[in-house]
Structure formats: C-alpha cells, structure tokens
Amino acid sequence: MNNLLILPIIIPMFTGILALLAYNSRTAQRWLSVLGSSALLSVAVWLLVEVGRNGILVLQVGGWQAPFGITLVADLFSSIMVVLTGIIGLAVAVYSLAIIDPDHEKFGYHQLYQFLLMGVSGAFLTGDLFNLYVWFEVMLMASFVLLALGGGRGQMEGAIKYVTLNLMASAVFLAALGLLYGMTGTLNMADLAYKFSKGLSAEQSGLITTLSMLFLIAFGIKAAVFPLFFWLPASYHTPPVPVSALFAGLLTKVGVYALIRVFTLIFTQDVGFTHTLILFIAGLTMVTGVLGAVAQGEFRRVLSFHIISQIGYMVMGLGLFTPLALAGSVFYIAHHIIVKTNLFLISGVVKHLHGTLELKKLGGLYQLMPHLGVLFLIPALSLAGIPPLSGFFAKLSLIQAGLEKGDFFIVAVSLAVSLLTVFSMMKLWNETFWKPLPQNEELSAKPLSKKQWISMLAPIVVLAAITIMIGLGVSPAFSLALQAGEQLMNPSAYIQAVMEITP
Amino acid sequence: MEIVLAFVIGGLYAAGIYMMLRRSLVKLLIGLALLSHAANLLIFTAARLTRAGFPIIGMDQQALELPYADPLPQALILTAIVISFGVTAFALALSYRTYKSIHTDDLDKMKTTDEADDSKETSA
C-alpha cells in the first residue's frame, strides 16, 4: 500500500514523457494532459482516504532505511495538498484546451504542465530537505519555461524578474542546507526533528535558530511574504491566463507548505522568537498585499497582490502556533487555492471577451453574460470572507485561534485587511461587470465554438461549486483540517512513522 | 584550509551580490552563477574537510575506519552543480531572447509591465 505514495509523482512524469513522444499530434497531447491530470486527482484522493484511515504513510525509496535513503512521507497535510494539486491540475488542463494557442502547444505546453505538476507533488510528498530542494528546482524549471514561452516584451520582463529572485532563493536554500548538514550530519526531516527533540545545548540551539532564519528567507521568497514578494506582482500578470492561474493556485503555496513543514517539525527550539517574527511578517504581508491591490488598475495585478495578502493569513496560522491556528492555515490554503485559481480563470474569460484586462477599458459584462457575473461573485466574496462561503470559515478559525492566544493586534489587522479585500473585490466587480462599457471601447471576442465555451466555463463552475460545498459542508472539511493541524503540532507521530523509533 | 575556503566563499558571495546589483542583464546572470558556486563550496566546507581515507569498507572489514571523508556532501554538490548548470543555460537563453525582443540589456528599462497605466502589454 505504501507504494501508492510514488504514484502522484510518476503519473505526471509518465504523462509528460508520453506527451513528448506524441510530439507531432496536438490532439494526443491534449487528451494525455487531461487524462494524466484526472489520474493524478484520483490517485491523490485515494491517498488522502488511505492516510485518513491508516495514519501517516511512509515509503523508503529503494528500500534504504530512513536517514540514509530518500523518504516519501504523506501525512494529512501533505495529502490534502496533493489533492488540491490534482483538482487545480485537472481544472486548468481542461481550461487550457479552450484558450491556449497552438504555438504554445507546439513548444511543449502540455509536457511542461505535467512536469510542473510532478515537481509540485514531489515537493509536497518528500520527507528529505535536499530532496525538497530538487523538487523545487524541477518545479521552477518547468515554471520558468511556461512563464517565458511565446513571450512578447511583457512576458520576458516578467520572466527575468521571476527567474532571478527564485534562483536567489534557491541559492540561499542550498547554503542553508549545507550549513544544516555540517551541523547535524543529516537532512532527513524526521531525523532532524528526532535529533533536535533529544535536547540541545544553549549554543547549538542558538545556532540552529540562526540557521532557521536562512530557511525563512529561502521559503519566504518562494511564498512571497512581506519584504520578499516583489517578483510576484511583476510576473504573474504577464503569461497566458491558464499559466498564471496554475501559478497563482499552486506555486506560492509550495513555499507556504515548506515554511509550515520546517517550522512545525524541525525549527521549534525558540518558538518565542521565530514564531513571533513569523507573526509580524504575516501581519505586514497582509497589509502591504491588500494596499498594493487597492492601488492597481489591472485585473490580474489586483489578483496578484491579493495572493500576497492571503499568504499573510496562511502564515499567520503558523505564527500563532496552536492546533486550531494551524488547522486554520491548512483550511485557508485549501480554500485559497481553489478560489484564487477560479478568479484567474474568470479573468481569462474577461480577457477573451474584451481583449484587455485594464480596468479602465472594461465594463458592461453583466449585461452581456450575467451568469459570468454571478460566477465571479462567488469566489470574490469567498476571498473576502463573506459567510457562508469557504473564506469566512477559514478566517473565522484563524481569528478564533488568535483570540484564544490573546494576540489581539494580529486579529485586528486581519479583520481590517478583510474589509479592504471586500472593497477591492467590489471594485473589480464594478469596473468589470457593473459599469457601462466605456465609449470608444467595443467587445472584440474571437468566436469560440460551443465545445470551447464548455471547456472554459466548466472548470469555473466546478471550482465555484467546490467553494460553496466547502462553505456549506464546513464541519467535515474543518474536522479534517483540525486533524491535520493536530498532526502538525505533534511531530512525534511523524518521526515515529519515518524512523520507526519512539522519540 | 577552512580559513582559505571561508575567504573564497565570502569573496564569491560578495562578488555575486555586487554583480547582481549592476544594471546589466549579463552581469546579473554572472552574479547568479557566482552565488551558486559559493553555495556549493559552502556545502563542501561546512561538511568538514577531512584529508583521509575513502569511505569504502574493505573486503576484510566490518565497518568504516576512522577518519574517512564523508561522501554525502559531494553527492549533494554534484546534484546542485547539475541543477545549476541547467538553470544557468536556461537563464542565458532567456536573456538572449529578452535582448532580442526588447533590444536592451539595461534592467532599469524592463519595467513597462509595472507601470500602472500600460496598454502595451503583449501577452497572449
């Protein structure tokens, strides 16, 4: 049964390879992309069910025992993330069929897409820090090419910034890994946690806290937290819409995942310092993100800044560091991935109808497509946290955790940021759907076949339905998140599963 | 030996960061390459330099004889070198394409998409 763990990695890999072999047939590549993503989603759901039933699953790759070989581990948090990868992978793959142009497909869009999914699933499932670095690079390499593919001026500029800052993050991560290895002689996460849990001298624990700051910077750049987020709004609005939807949904969340993983499992020596710092970063990330969003005048740039602001909420749960808060983070990540991807997908429909995403030139869409307006409102209001949609419960649990811990300041900040989010979402709604079409502007939609409309709108409808379902059926979803949060707070089960020793 | 390498690594980091702060795209890439070299050497040094035997258990031995050189950091560095080779090759190609489509390698001129009112955006 443990071999199940490798499937979310090799399914996209083989799909990508098969699609490479089918290089000459566009139709075959498209089918493979959708089939591979569906297979990934079904395996991910199976994995989640299995982990929910039997606890943490571990696979020692090649039969090498824990600290020596590469370990794949799926606890609840990882398997929830893999399921989300599957959902977004499938939704965007279907959406791409309608809107991605043949030139992109010719230069390997579908193949890169699958390799990106492989890197993301690998990063979620690995139990080894160096292996995490490798998966990061797999993911980054695919994302670099997707971002730059077919580029005009804007895309190239975005890609340069994205590539530079992400490579810098990788260099920092690598340096941190080297130092950590020199200090401890291992890079297996469970082994590190086990070694640290046996007690450290004051000097050692000080050094490790210092080292944890390097990890905070490396993962912070990838997650786009407060002073390190500049690459994100500079690049996410430049590539074709399906690519930015995929990036917006998954990539920064891999950084958040890595932050939560190392700061719950390994670096818990000096919670008073590290996690308070993280809490500060969370507050500043929320505020700068939302203020940036309010100032923007382009649909996807507004959404990009909202990603940053939302990252703040996820990191806030880590900063509070209680089971409820971490459950809130997990829930928030799940909610955010679905909602944010959906908003980007809708921006693609708007762009198709108008040919631009400058808010000044948009308008009158509600008259044209009222159902699209409603479909936009569901994720937009969910993002802002209006009950009974998923975002409300995500924020509620974080705020409850903050109140229980007595951190009233961060609670106040997060509530104020929520208000600004509502404002900014309403601005998008007004400018795009409600206000009349500006003079001199006309709708310049290229005609789409009925099939293309379906493959464009179906993912949007399904993701909106998931948002509503999470909101209405909140108690099973939240109890799952709460279990994941409790698992994160008690790493002994994780260590025991990997190392087969009782810490 | 550690002292010498420490200075080399520090120098590489300093040079890398200095190059990244320049305005030219090519110098930015050289800076990135230097950073990854510095990180590789850092792994090498931090994992202790031992002038000692191979990490191979002989025919008539049951365990490794101390002292031996740790092979793992070298495996890590090898992986990192391969990755940074690929990434650098990609970055070079990207910068060439950028130069072709923008006709400048001045990073200060690459901010058209950041300006609030931009209608020249050319993505698909």
| Residue A465 pLDDT | 93
Residue ranges with strand state E in A233-374: none
Identify from A68, A138, A174 which residue to disrupt to test chain B contact, counting B C-beta atoms within 10 A and taking the largest count.
Answer: A174
This complex has an ipTM of 0.89
Q: Among the listed ranges A349-353, A463-467, B25-29, which one has the minimum average pLDDT value?
A: A349-353
List CB contacts (< 8 A) between B108 and chain A. none
Q: Is A239 on the interface with B (CB under 8 A)?
A: yes
Q: pLDDT category, A502, cuts 50, 70, 90?
A: low
What is the secondary structure of A26-41 as a DSSP string?
A: HHHHHHHHHHHHHHHH
Contact (CB<8Å) A151/B101: yes
**Res. A106 pLDDT band, cuts 50 70 90:** confident
Domain count, chain A: 1
User: Between A and B, how many residue pairs show a Cβ–Cβ distance under 8 A?
Assistant: 145
Contact map slice: B 66-95 vs A, CB within 8 A: 70, 72-73, 76, 79-80, 83, 86-87, 90-91, 94-95
List the 81-110 stretch of A: residues with Cβ below 8 A of B. Answer: 101, 104
| Whether the predicted pLDDT of A118 surpasses 90 | yes
Least confident of A149-153, A186-190, A261-265, B41-45: A149-153
Distance between CA atoms of A319 and A280, rounded to whole angstroms? 8
Expressed as residue numbers, the domain containing A54 is 2-499
Mean pLDDT along residues A475-480: 90
What domains appear along chain B, each with residue ranges and CATH number?
2-53+71-100 (1.10.287)
Nearest residue of B to residue A352, measured between CA atoms: B124
Work out the average pLDDT over B59-64: 82
Query: pLDDT at position A372, please?
Result: 87
pLDDT digits (tens, 9 = 90+) for B71-107: 888 899 999 999 999 999 999 999 998 888 888 888 8
CB contact under 8 A, B20 and A234: no
Computed on alpha carbons and rounded to an integer, the radius of gyration of chain B in Å comes to 22
Given a cut of 60, is residue B20 above it in pLDDT? yes
Greater confidence, B120 or A282? A282
Which residues, in sequence order, are CB contacts of B6 under 8 Å at separation 6+? B45
Nearest CA in chain A to B95: A160
Range scoring the smallest mean pLDDT among A62-66, A169-173, A185-189 = A62-66
- Per residue in A18-48, pLDDT (tens digit) is 999 988 888 899 999 999 999 999 999 999 9
Closest by Cβ to B32, choosing from A134, A164, A175? A164
With a cut of 90, say whether residue A90 has pLDDT above it.
yes
Distance in angstroms between the alpha carbons of the first and the last residue of chain A: 25
Instruction: Tell me the average pLDDT of chain A.
Output: 90
Secondary structure (DSSP) of A71-104:
EEEE-HHHHHHHHHHHHHHHHHHHHHHHHS-HHH
Q: How much is the pLDDT for B117?
A: 45
Which token pair is A147? Answer: 């971002």
* pLDDT tens digits, A276-315: 999 999 999 999 999 999 888 888 999 999 999 999 999 9
Per the model's pLDDT, the better-predicted residue between B124 and A196 turns out to be A196
> Average pLDDT, stretch A256-267?
93
- pLDDT bin (cut points 50, 70, 90) of residue A317 is very high
Residue A287: its pLDDT value, please?
Answer: 94
Residue range A412-427: average pLDDT? 92
User: Which of 117-156 (A) contact B at CB < 8 A?
Assistant: 130, 133-134, 137, 140-141, 144-145, 148, 150-156
What's residue A219's pLDDT? 95
Q: In sequence order, what are the residues at sequence separation of 6 or more whose Cβ sits closer than 8 angstroms to the Cβ of residue A154?
A: A238, B112, B113, B120, B121, B122, B123
pLDDT at site B122: 41
- Residue A301 near residue A237 (C-beta atoms within 8 A): yes
Q: What is the mean pLDDT of residues A78-98?
A: 94
- For residue A324, which of A488, A454, A109 has the smallest C-alpha distance? A488
Residue A112 confidence (pLDDT): 93
Nearest of A39, A44, A47, A50 to residue A14 by alpha carbon = A39
**pLDDT tens digits, one per residue of A4-17:** 899 999 999 999 99
pLDDT in tens, A184-216: 888 999 999 998 888 778 888 888 999 999 999
pLDDT for res A218: 94
Q: Which of B25, B47, B102 sits opposite A153 (nearest CB)?
A: B102
- Suggest the residue from A99, A101, A163, A188 to mutate for an interface test with chain B (most B CBs closer than 10 A): A163
Is the Cβ–Cβ distance between B16 and B38 less than 8 Å?
yes
DSSP codes joined into one string, chain B:
-HHHHHHHHHHHHHHHHHHHHSSBHHHHHHHHHHHHHHHHHHHHHHT-----B-S---TT-SSPPSSB--SHHHHHHHHHHHHHHHHHHHHHHHHHHHHHHHS--BGGG--GGGSSS-------
d(CA A319, CA A406): 13
When the pLDDT of each residue in chain B is averaged and rounded to a whole number, the result is 84
| Long-range contact set of residues B102-109: C-beta below 8 Å, sequence gap at least 24 | B102/A153, B102/A156, B102/A157, B105/B24, B105/B25, B105/B26, B106/B23, B106/B24, B106/B25, B107/A160, B107/B23, B107/B24, B107/B25, B107/B28, B108/B23
First-to-final CA distance of chain B: 54
Extract the tokens encoding A392: 């409300």
Confidence of residue B120 (pLDDT cuts 50, 70, 90): very low
Mean pLDDT of A347-372: 84
> Given an 8 Å threshold on Cβ–Cβ distance, is B35 in contact with A171?
yes
Q: How far apart are CA A411 and CA A320, in angstroms?
A: 11
What confidence tier does A444 reach under pLDDT thresholds 50, 70, 90?
Answer: low
Cα distance between residue B65 and residue B57, in whole Å = 8
